Structure 1
Amino acid sequence: MTILSTIFWGFIFLNSALAIFTVFKEKERDIAAIWAWLLVITMLPGFGFVIYLFLGRKISKESIFDLRSQDRIGMPQLVESQKSLIESENLDVPESNYQDKTFEMVRLFLESNQAVLTKGNKVRIISDGEEKFDQLIRDIEKAEHHIHVTYYIFRGDNIGLRLLRALEEKAKQGVEVKVLYDPVGARVLGKDFFNKLRTYGGHAEPFFGSKFFLINLRLNYRNHRKIVVVDGKVGYTGGFNVGDDYLGMYEKMGYWRDTHLRIEGNGVLTLQTRFLMDWNASSKDKQVNYGEVYFPFSSLKGSTDMQIVSSGPDNEMHAIKKGFIKMISMAKESVLIQTPYFIPDEALMETIKIAILSGIKVKVMIPNKPDHPFIYRATLSYAEELVKSGAEVHIYDNGFLHSKVIVIDGEILSVGTANFDIRSFRLNFEVNAFIYDRYLAKKQVRLFEEDEKKSYLLTEDMIKNYSRWEIFKQQFSRLFSPIL
């Protein structure tokens, strides 16, 4: 055996041994993710470890200390109070066809996420980008004390500059402006993009950023949240990021179909809490105290009861995923899901299949084109499995579907930033509104039905006609779905 051969086989053996040690030593990692990472490391000796170093390592407790240690303003006391009311069945939860189950769902979020139930909110569903940004900028122009902004993607194109100019003008007037952006989603922005905002007294900070982008070991943990809070009175969250493509201005993607919420009422205060926790975890020298000026408790604005639920790699509870599972298991008639990426883990997939076998009408809507081809192929693989199980899978054919929505029985819905994929459940920082309001739920059902008219069904005949090459690409992509 030559020296080169000895070195080669020694390297392969060392790579394999280190792969097993490195991946398995993280005890709380999902078993499917363990095998996916072992596959990457063994298929790409040496280089696989580099990928794992940047994309596979879990966040250490030291890295997330600030995220876990910041108590929410008055939340622990309010959470315990609502738990006690649930125990005595005195908590005023919205009327529904399954009152006991609604108690259970509210309790689930109180226990797993300290997500208090806020009542009497005024909530508006927005499904068009032009409408969303026109309303957002009008609200920003009315701001008197503060504007807090978080977006995953923030582009320096027409709408990005329009929003930036509005923020700069308010900062110039003395309004507190804080912008938290994700360094990966906003990687195309120049270093001086927020300079004028800062000159006027505003602040802009990257979430989990690094001075050296290419050696950021937390690169895989992205802040996928979209939150805007104006004066603690108006809040926004949902699927729209900041970019001209979200207005349907990119010919490649076509019309952009998304879903966003505009909220007035005390539900805004829970969005505010989420923003301030993220801000204080990212900006060590410009931290914000949880003063009353940021939490102006209000009288009833409307009739919507809701819980704002967040999840991320800082918490192993995966509260949003648990919420999806709870909703599907509660359904008596129908489950409607819209998502650009459908890569469920085993627990969620089994819950959906159980619903189908129980006679529940399950409809899933996905895009007809990929913005991430590798992920889209895995999505198609899972979608085909659903079709074979008896679900309806609708392919949206009027542009790009980016909406992240689930609604059951026209009774309860969830709108937010989390996709139906493992990345959103385990790797991204996400936020979703779980809404107990028949009127809004039925409105979302009508929106889904309108989208159905612009979609086509994925059928078993279409699946049978896939080429062997297409099937291979889908199955290959699915192998890596636990770490996508």
Structure 2
Amino acid sequence: MGIVEGPPERSTEVFGDLLYSKRDSKHRAIKYLIAAIIPLPFAFRKEHRALPIIATSVFGAGALVNYLESQEKHDAAYSLKSQKPKPVKPKSETPKSPEQTTDGFVLQTSEEFMTDMISSIQQAKDRVWLEFMQFESGEIMSGLVDSLIAAKERGVDVRLHLDPYTLDHTRVGNRDVLRGAQIVRNQKEPQSGLDERTLLQRNRFMTRYDLDLLKKEGIVTFTERSGRLRLLKYFGGGNHRKFSVVDDVSWLGTINLTDGDVTGMENFMLRITNSQVVDVLKEIFANPQKENIAYQFLDFENSFELLIDSGKPNNSIIFEKSLEMIENAKEKIEFVTQYWPTGRLLKALKEKAKQGVEVEIVMEPMGDHRVWRYPFKIGRRSFLNSLERDPAGLKIYYADKPTHAKGLLVDGKAALFGSHNLYEPMVKAGVKEMSIYTEDPDLVTQMQERIFNHTK
């Protein structure tokens, strides 16, 4: 897979560093000013005035220098606004056009999706509706923010729904760090080459900056907390969906709105131009469902369902669909996950393996992702240790790079794909999810080639 080229209208690295540095200069100017004021009363005494006068003069000069420096950095940062944006293009292969696929569905990599969506937003005339779990400012995301604001200024209906998770966490590499937490290790982050603590501070600062821009334009809102996660503030708000509608085109899948999700890990989005499905997604965005719903499109040549979890604890039609698919498997089951199978799903997979069905599980590779950290590390280690004692016929593979993909493929004929990790603890918590089930041969083949074969 390639990487997204070219900085957008403002380079987040340069723009963010200048604004962050401007804030530091301003803070230093205030400190110097306070230091200059403290000895000032002593400068009016009849005796021993020289030292207070010198101190006031030196600190006053320091305050002035730092203030002028902060203004210079401010002007330099905003001068980037006048630069023309460079097009964002992926180096990866060009995806098939919707016309080449059955009913206008095409599976895109994260880079293809982001390029496609930003381009569509720049040409949008009616609506730009986005609903994602997480947003984190970055080189690519700053281009998205600028495109959203430009569309709003053209009179387009622009809305961005985010989960409160964005307010509580900051992305550092492939990890999410709680707001207010500090990084102890202080190592360099591989992708940016920056000291982790510096990267954490920059990301927090720029994310707040971009969210403030979006709030000012009336674009961003945060969804209500749901399920049991509403009681656990810093674990997110319970909205794990990732989908968007731009005029009459929709996407749904696995990506979050962060640079790391685009270039640092495997993610996939399904591009949809079928008017029936797009209309349903418009309705879901405008009027969020309070109950689980399975939309069945009966006039499709092959079975296709849009599955919506409303976020009720212990109630997931997507998870139940996965168990039904596993139960009906005859030859082979392929499962790609960021986590690992647990509970009823693991039991069902083991049972099928005993019956002679080939079961392959593709998992997150070892690295710096949260699944390799506590408390997730405990569950993952327990799962792998149990397989060492009794493999139960399950074949474990590790993705060749960090993966955020989520999918289940049965007998090469039926596929389940979307935001749901099929991780039972989240089912118990109650999380809003969106996935599709399909038996369309072309779409199943796309998923086979782009998700299952590509991640192993």
The two structures have a TM-score, normalised by structure 1, of 0.57
Name the structure 2 match of 1:367.
Answer: 364
Q: d(CA) in 1 for partners of 2:145 and 2:316?
A: 33
Instruction: Report the 3-state secondary structure (helix = DSSP H, G, I; strand = E; otherwise coil) of the residue aligned with 2:224.
Output: coil
- When residues 167 and 184 of structure 1 are mapped into structure 2, their CA distance, relative to the original with a 3 A threshold, is same
Query: Which of 394, 398, 422 in structure 1 is aligned with 2:397?
Result: 394
- When residues 444 and 399 of structure 1 are mapped into structure 2, their CA distance, relative to the original with a 3 A threshold, is same
Matched ranges for 1:85-104 at <5 A = none
Cα RMSD over matched residues? 3.2
1:340-385: CA deviations, max 9, x gaps?
Answer: 111422x222211121111111100001125211314413432454
Matched ranges for 1:235-274 at <5 A = 235-248=250-263, 255-265=264-274, 266-274=276-284
1:393-421: CA deviations, max 9, x gaps?
Answer: 1012x320111011111111111111131
Letter in 2 for 1:207: T
Query: Which of 427, 447, 452 in structure 2 is aligned with 1:444?
Result: 447
- When residues 209 and 450 of structure 1 are mapped into structure 2, their CA distance, relative to the original with a 3 A threshold, is closer
**Is 1:382 paired with 2:379?**
no
Q: Percent identity at matched positions?
A: 19
Contact 1:418 1:432 in 2 (8 A): yes
**Is 1:409 paired with 2:411?**
yes
Q: d(CA) in 2 for partners of 1:393 and 1:367?
A: 11
Letter in 2 for 1:235: S
Name the structure 2 match of 1:172.
Answer: 153
Q: d(CA) in 2 for partners of 1:224 and 1:198?
A: 21
**Is 1:225 paired with 2:226?**
no
**Is 1:208 paired with 2:224?**
yes
Matched ranges for 1:191-340 at <5 A = 191=208, 193-200=210-217, 202-208=218-224, 221-231=237-247, 233-248=248-263, 255-265=264-274, 266-278=276-288, 305-314=303-312, 316-340=314-338
- When residues 138 and 217 of structure 1 are mapped into structure 2, their CA distance, relative to the original with a 3 A threshold, is closer
Instruction: Report the 3-state secondary structure (helix = DSSP H, G, I; strand = E; otherwise coil) of the residue aligned with 2:128.
Output: strand
Matched ranges for 1:27-42 at <5 A = none
The more displaced of 261-270 and 328-337 is 261-270
1:280-305: CA deviations, max 9, x gaps?
Answer: 99xxxxxxxxxxxxxxxx9x9x9665
- When residues 449 and 236 of structure 1 are mapped into structure 2, their CA distance, relative to the original with a 3 A threshold, is closer
Q: How many residues align?
A: 304
Name the structure 2 match of 1:121.
Answer: 103
Q: d(CA) in 1 for partners of 2:384 and 2:310?
A: 25
Contact 2:162 2:222 in 1 (8 A): yes
Q: d(CA) in 2 for partners of 1:224 and 1:169?
A: 27
Instruction: Report the 3-state secondary structure (helix = DSSP H, G, I; strand = E; otherwise coil) of the residue aligned with 1:442.
Output: helix
Instruction: Report the 3-state secondary structure (helix = DSSP H, G, I; strand = E; otherwise coil) of the residue aligned with 1:368.
Output: coil
Q: d(CA) in 2 for partners of 1:182 and 1:394?
A: 31
- When residues 279 and 136 of structure 1 are mapped into structure 2, their CA distance, relative to the original with a 3 A threshold, is farther
Letter in 2 for 1:328: I
- When residues 269 and 384 of structure 1 are mapped into structure 2, their CA distance, relative to the original with a 3 A threshold, is farther
Contact 2:315 2:427 in 1 (8 A): no
Where structure 2 has 5 or more consecutive residues not aligned to the other structure, the ranges are 1-100, 171-203, 292-296
- When residues 157 and 335 of structure 1 are mapped into structure 2, their CA distance, relative to the original with a 3 A threshold, is same
- When residues 171 and 394 of structure 1 are mapped into structure 2, their CA distance, relative to the original with a 3 A threshold, is same
Contact 1:271 1:308 in 2 (8 A): no
Name the structure 2 match of 1:95.
Answer: none
Q: d(CA) in 2 for partners of 1:279 and 1:154?
A: 23
Q: d(CA) in 2 for partners of 1:219 and 1:377?
A: 17
- When residues 417 and 369 of structure 1 are mapped into structure 2, their CA distance, relative to the original with a 3 A threshold, is same
Q: d(CA) in 2 for partners of 1:413 and 1:449?
A: 11
Query: Which of 426, 429, 438 in structure 1 is aligned with 2:428?
Result: 426
Letter in 1 for 2:441: R
- When residues 168 and 366 of structure 1 are mapped into structure 2, their CA distance, relative to the original with a 3 A threshold, is same
- When residues 310 and 451 of structure 1 are mapped into structure 2, their CA distance, relative to the original with a 3 A threshold, is same
Q: d(CA) in 2 for partners of 1:198 and 1:144?
A: 21
- When residues 152 and 420 of structure 1 are mapped into structure 2, their CA distance, relative to the original with a 3 A threshold, is same
Q: What's the CA shift for 1:160?
A: 1.5
1:86-128: CA deviations, max 9, x gaps?
Answer: xxxxxxxxxxxxxxxxxxxxxxxxxxxxxxxxx973111113x
Name the structure 2 match of 1:478.
Answer: none
Where structure 1 has 5 or more consecutive residues not aligned to the other structure, the ranges are 1-118, 249-254, 282-297, 456-484
Query: Which of 324, 347, 351 in structure 2 is aligned with 1:350?
Result: 347
Q: What's the CA shift for 1:196?
A: 3.9
